[in-house]
């Protein structure tokens, strides 16, 4: 009797969560697949009584769409650049932090600071640091009032100022700024995880290496990296997942236009593509979302496969 | 004689080697500190630049050779930023949405985690596994349909639309369930024998024991409201319901070119301040929650 009463109670306790999940999680999954398989589907049209044929036209359209290919290229490029750079830097910082005693806690706090920031707000700070104030770029009467602090530093060391994000800036300059901002933003989480991993590593391995007189570099590649491999796999996988969903960092620096003045959409990403299509072309947006899910799924599986082979636990 | 000589030679060598080692160690330490301090400066620099730019006059900001410390401290930028971005209303809206959604979310999370951790019912494990599987799907996939759904419900431009769709977090349920599972079952059975109700037991025993996790969830949820941008922009972009991040971006659409950067930086500093305070006072809980989640906000 007590048992049956419990069963009834369990479902009562779970009811709010289940109802909300059915509406806002389960139904969207089913509906996304449905919409993606109806040619040129739009919710407005559907409500208006239009009928849509079954087919894979949305996927074809998305893949042939120049805009989507630009988004795909930008997303991939940012992933491929930011994940290795941030992982490597985070590893280096974590190992160094683990090797010191004085100032360790203080520096650890400093390195965690970017985590608790608002990526739109701090994106605006980065924009300000790279921004050139002036008029008529690229013309005879070009007038630069201030080149921005980053350019000031470059000029101080004898370089020439670069148009990073303003009208007429080059694609690679934009990408460089985004990579710097994304890495800055991604470091705290990775350092936190890797340092946590390092601190739980058994000291005996290092003592044995010391007795054997093993060189530092060798200790790093033969002991530290293998022992850290589960954490490294974790930060790489989450890094790729986050990278494929890149969006708000770009809005922070370039605004909703997703590109420098005069060239909107140049830096758009896959998530940005989905949001652009979301209110009018639900079929296309759904197809793009499923493609994004497919890519994330495949990349995660590859990462898991590789890390299973390489991880030592 | 020769024996003594070789001995001293040997000692000398040892001394030489150890002093060499000591120099090597010192150089290594020096390099480690130098690297860490340079990286720390790079990490901190944007915050520093935000703060000093926020108190500069526009003329000083535009100097060809920038000043690393403001000549005049102009606090009027903050007043201007506060008014231009309507930060007061945005702040109240965000606090309201953050508090209500955190409170409701905590209640749902606690009772769901309790059911999964303590009660026995058919299909429990299958249901839990299904919930965990949804965590793999990118949120953007849900947004497309949810946008249409909230439109059908007539929730556009309201607070409800900012709160309800995100009340259930599978991840938080998972986190709390793990925490609840660590509490021995005997306690629960003993309480049952004594005739204690589930709710009383939850309130008196489980919640106090799982408090650190609940605090982590609260902080992450509040930070989520503070930092959310995409969904609010889609469904509640009117002035009465706008949240702070969205309002900030809308108030300063231009971030490149000839714009009043000191005022922008003052607005950014105001928006960043609460996050900074949370960081200073509750760092432990954030770090704990973060290291287990891998998600931002």
Is the per-residue pLDDT at B10 higher than 70?
A: no
Q: How long a stretch of residues is chain A?
A: 313
Q: Assess whether B268 and B220 both reside in one domain.
A: yes
Q: What pLDDT does A36 receive?
A: 92
Strand bridging mode A143-146 / A133-135: antiparallel
Q: Assess whether B229 and B92 both reside in one domain.
A: yes
Q: Do A126 and B112 touch (CB under 8 A)?
A: no
Tell whether B169 is covered by a domain. yes
Which of A:258-287 have CB within 8 Å of B? 260-261, 271, 274-275, 278-279, 282, 285-286
Q: Assess whether B269 and B229 both reside in one domain.
A: yes
Boundaries of domain holding B21: 2-54
Tell whether A16 is covered by a domain. no
Tell whether A32 is covered by a domain. no
- In chain A, how many domains are there? 1
Q: Give the residue among A106, A104, A91 at the shortest CA–CA distance from A186.
A: A91
The sign of the CA dihedral A162, A163, A164, A170 is: negative
Tell whether B76 is covered by a domain. no
Q: Select from B139, B173, B227 the Cβ nearest to the Cβ of A118.
A: B227
Tell whether B63 is covered by a domain. no
B4 pLDDT band, cuts 50/70/90, is: low
Tell whether B62 is covered by a domain. no
Tens-place pLDDT, residues B110-154: 999 999 998 888 889 999 999 988 888 888 899 999 999 999 999
Q: What pLDDT does B237 receive?
A: 85
Complex prediction ipTM: 0.88
Tens-place pLDDT, residues A211-235: 887 787 888 888 888 888 888 988 9
Q: Assess whether B49 and B195 both reside in one domain.
A: no
Q: Do A131 and B256 touch (CB under 8 A)?
A: yes
Contacts of B271 in chain A (CB under 8 A): 118, 121
Ranges A225-234, A268-277, B100-109: which has the least confidence: A225-234
Q: Percent of chain B at pLDDT above 90?
A: 43
B170 pLDDT band, cuts 50/70/90, is: very high
Tens-place pLDDT, residues B176-220: 998 898 888 888 888 888 888 888 888 888 899 889 889 988 988
Q: Which two tokens stand for residue A221?
A: 């590649």
Boundaries of domain holding A117: 58-131+166-310
**Residue B103 and residue B95: Cα distance in Å, rounded?**
12
**Mean pLDDT in chain A?**
87
Is A42:A58 a contact under the CB 8 Å cutoff? no
Q: What pLDDT does B5 receive?
A: 54
CATH at residue A125: 1.10.3720.10
Which of B:95-114 have CB within 8 Å of A? 108, 111-112, 114
**Mean pLDDT in chain B?**
86
Which of A:149-168 have CB within 8 Å of B? 149, 152, 165-167
**Residue A62 and residue A56: Cα distance in Å, rounded?**
10
Q: Assess whether B134 and B183 both reside in one domain.
A: yes
Q: Assess whether B98 and B159 both reside in one domain.
A: yes
Tell whether B146 is covered by a domain. yes
Boundary (domain end) residue, out of B15, B36, B54? B54
Q: Assess whether B119 and B242 both reside in one domain.
A: yes
Q: Select from B36, B42, B198 the Cβ nearest to the Cβ of A97.
A: B36
Q: Select from A252, A260, A292 the Cβ nearest to the Cβ of B256.
A: A260
Q: Kindly state the average pLDDT of the residues A287-305.
A: 91
Q: Assess whether B47 and B187 both reside in one domain.
A: no
Q: Which two tokens stand for residue A249?
A: 């960092």
Between residues A241 and A45, the one the model is more confident about:
A241
Tell whether A29 is covered by a domain. no
Tell whether A171 is covered by a domain. yes
Q: Assess whether B230 and B153 both reside in one domain.
A: yes
- In chain B, how many domains are there? 2
Tell whether B128 is covered by a domain. yes
**Residue B138 and residue A77: Cα distance in Å, rounded?**
19
Q: Assess whether B37 and B140 both reside in one domain.
A: no
A149 min Cα distance to partner chain B (Å): 7
Q: Assess whether B15 and B88 both reside in one domain.
A: no
CB of B53 within 8 Å of a chain A CB? The answer is: yes
Q: Kindly state the average pLDDT of the residues B29-37.
A: 93
Tell whether B67 is covered by a domain. no
Tell whether B68 is covered by a domain. no
CATH at residue B235: 1.10.3720.10
A270 pLDDT band, cuts 50/70/90, is: very high
Q: Assess whether B20 and B151 both reside in one domain.
A: no
């Amino acid at each position: 009797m007590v048992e049956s009463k419990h069963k009834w109670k369990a479902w009562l306790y779970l009811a709010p969560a289940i109802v909300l999940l059915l509406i806002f999680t389960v139904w969207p999954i089913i509906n996304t697949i449905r919409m993606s398989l109806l040619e040129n589907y739009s919710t407005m049209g559907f409500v208006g009584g239009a009928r849509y044929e079954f087919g894979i036209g949305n996927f074809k359209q998305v893949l042939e769409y120049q805009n989507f290919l630009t988004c795909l290229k930008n997303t991939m490029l940012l992933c491929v650049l930011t994940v290795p750079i941030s992982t490597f830097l985070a590893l280096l910082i974590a190992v160094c932090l683990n090797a010191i005693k004085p100032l360790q806690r203080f520096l650890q706090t400093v390195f965690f600071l970017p985590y608790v920031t608002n990526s739109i707000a701090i994106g605006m700070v980065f924009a300000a640091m790279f921004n050139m104030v002036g008029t008529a770029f690229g013309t005879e009467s070009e007038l630069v009032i201030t080149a921005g602090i980053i350019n000031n530093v470059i000029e101080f060391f004898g370089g020439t100022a670069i148009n990073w994000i303003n009208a007429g800036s080059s694609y690679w300059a934009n990408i460089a700024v985004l990579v710097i901002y994304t890495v800055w933003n991604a470091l705290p989480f990775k350092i936190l995880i890797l340092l946590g991993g390092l601190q739980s590593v058994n000291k005996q391995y290092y003592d044995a290496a010391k007795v054997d007189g093993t060189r530092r570099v060798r200790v790093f590649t033969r002991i530290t990296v293998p022992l850290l491999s589960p954490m490294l796999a974790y930060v790489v996988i989450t890094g790729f997942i986050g990278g494929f969903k890149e969006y708000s960092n770009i809005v922070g620096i370039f605004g909703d236009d997703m590109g420098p003045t005069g060239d909107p959409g140049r830096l758009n990403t896959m998530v940005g593509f989905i949001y652009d299509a979301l209110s009018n072309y639900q079929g296309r947006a759904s197809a793009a979302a499923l493609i994004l899910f497919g890519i994330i799924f495949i990349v995660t599986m590859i990462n898991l496969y590789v890390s299973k082979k390489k991880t030592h636990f | 004689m020769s024996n003594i000589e070789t001995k001293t030679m040997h000692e000398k060598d040892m001394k030489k080697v150890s002093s060499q080692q000591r120099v090597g160690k010192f150089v290594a330490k020096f390099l480690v500190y130098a690297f860490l301090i340079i990286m720390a400066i790079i990490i901190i620099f944007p915050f520093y630049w935000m703060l000093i730019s926020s108190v500069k006059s526009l003329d000083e900001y535009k100097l060809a050779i920038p000043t690393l410390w403001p000549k005049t401290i102009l606090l009027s930028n903050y007043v201007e930023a506060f008014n231009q971005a309507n930060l007061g209303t945005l702040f109240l809206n965000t606090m309201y949405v953050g508090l209500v959604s955190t409170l409701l979310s905590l209640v749902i999370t606690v009772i769901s985690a309790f059911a999964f951790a303590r009660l026995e019912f058919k299909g429990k494990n299958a249901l839990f596994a299904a919930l965990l599987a949804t965590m793999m799907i990118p949120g953007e996939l849900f947004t497309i349909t949810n946008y249409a759904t909230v439109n059908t419900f007539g929730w556009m431009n309201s607070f409800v639309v900012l709160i309800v769709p995100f009340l259930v977090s599978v991840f938080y349920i998972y986190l709390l369930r793990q925490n609840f599972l660590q509490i021995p079952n005997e306690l629960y059975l003993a309480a049952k024998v004594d005739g204690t109700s589930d709710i009383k037991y939850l309130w008196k025993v489980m919640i106090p024991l799982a408090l650190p996790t609940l605090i982590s969830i609260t902080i992450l949820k509040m930070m989520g409201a503070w930092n959310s941008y995409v969904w609010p922009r889609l469904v509640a972009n009117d002035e009465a319901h706008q949240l702070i991040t969205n309002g900030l971006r809308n108030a300063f659409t231009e971030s490149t070119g000839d714009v009043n950067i000191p005022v922008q930086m003052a607005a950014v500093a105001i928006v960043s301040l609460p996050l900074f305070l949370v960081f200073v006072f509750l760092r432990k809980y954030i770090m704990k929650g973060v290291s287990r989640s891998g998600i931002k906000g």
